[in-house]
Amino acid sequence: MKLLVVFLPLVAFCAADPIPAVPGDNDHYVEGVSRYIWIPDGDDVPHLVDLHAPAADVASDVEGRSGANNAYWLYTRRNPNNHQLLVNGNINSVASSFYNPNLPLKVIVHGWNSKGSSKMNPEITAAILAVMDANVIVVDWSRVASGLYTTSVRGVPDVGRHLGAFLIWLLGSFGGNWHNVHLIGFSLGAHVVGNAGRTCNGRIARITGLDPAGPQWGRNSNALNQHDGIYVESIHTDGGLLGIFDPISDADFYPNGGRNRQPGCWISTCSHSRAPDLFASSVRTNHFIGMQCASLSEARNNRCSGAQHRMGNGDLNKRGAGLYGLSTGSRWPY
């Protein structure tokens, strides 16, 4: 965990809601009440965010904050380390690439203050290509994902709609099967893939939300939900702080209770970032076995003993419903 700390511009100090002093520690945070929270960037550096800061006008696209600026980076087993740029509407960009419509399509979407090269993307990409021959598209939406958190939140639906429109164009123009499409999104990216799924009329075979972002997403109609794809799952690792704790998917997994602190973590931001790590490990090993929970309380206390359902992995035909608890280790492969 890097110890560098970045303070975004803050509004005047408020004695009733003091600025937290320990970088990355969100133990002070009360959902829907607290003004300040630490959120990690794509390299796990914690940034102090003022949730009351006014958002910039995303609709005006003053600084390119629009889903039209999404970049789609294609990786395959023929180019596992150097991406090929696919451009929506540009036939040559796809025709000259290694895109293969007969292979599964996996799409990875990062979270706030991150970019296409942030560590979760190569980690998950490498895991996928190690176990299957596939098209992997990393979505770089850094123009909208950077800056004020509130501005990024408001830009999520537009980013998701543009991603959905790109997928419709890609499969319509170059072939592919909706039953072979899997969208994977972390934090704000989980809500991006939800909006993309809606744009595709729920045809996406599978959507995986990795600790879907919590702040400013309560009762938000743009949040990921179980209707966004044929099978939607979420892996909750920092519920009630940086992630949503309530079930929002067909299947909701709560490793180690689904909350801070995850094994091996000493701050909340680590627990939030654990979700992509667990998913990458699950793709390579498929060793996480959830047990169905009778209630959210059972999930919170990791006391579930019902039917088994595997967490994560790359299975495009995966199906299931309910709440699931499980225990993991503190180090890779967890």
Positions marked catalytic: 187, 211, 272
Q: Please, what's the b/e burial string for 261-276 (b: 16 or more CB within 10 A of its CB; e: otherwise)?
A: bbeebebbbbbbbbbb
Report strand pairing: 206-210 vs 46-50: unpaired
Enter the tokens of residue 287.
């060793």
Q: Quick check: 168 and 93 in contact, CB under 8 A?
A: no
Look up residue 68 and give its DSSP letter. G
Report the phi/psi class of residue 36: left, alpha or beta, with left for phi > 0 and alpha for psi in -120 to 50: beta
Quick one: which of 316, 266, 323, 263 has its CA closest to 290? 323
Enter the tokens of residue 316.
């495009």
Q: Quick check: 215 and 149 in contact, CB under 8 A?
A: yes
Helix (H, G, I), strand (E, B) or coil at 330: coil
Tell me how many degrees the CA angle 245-250-253 measures, rounded to the nearest 5.
45
Instruction: Give the chain's length.
Output: 334
Enter the tokens of residue 137.
């598209």
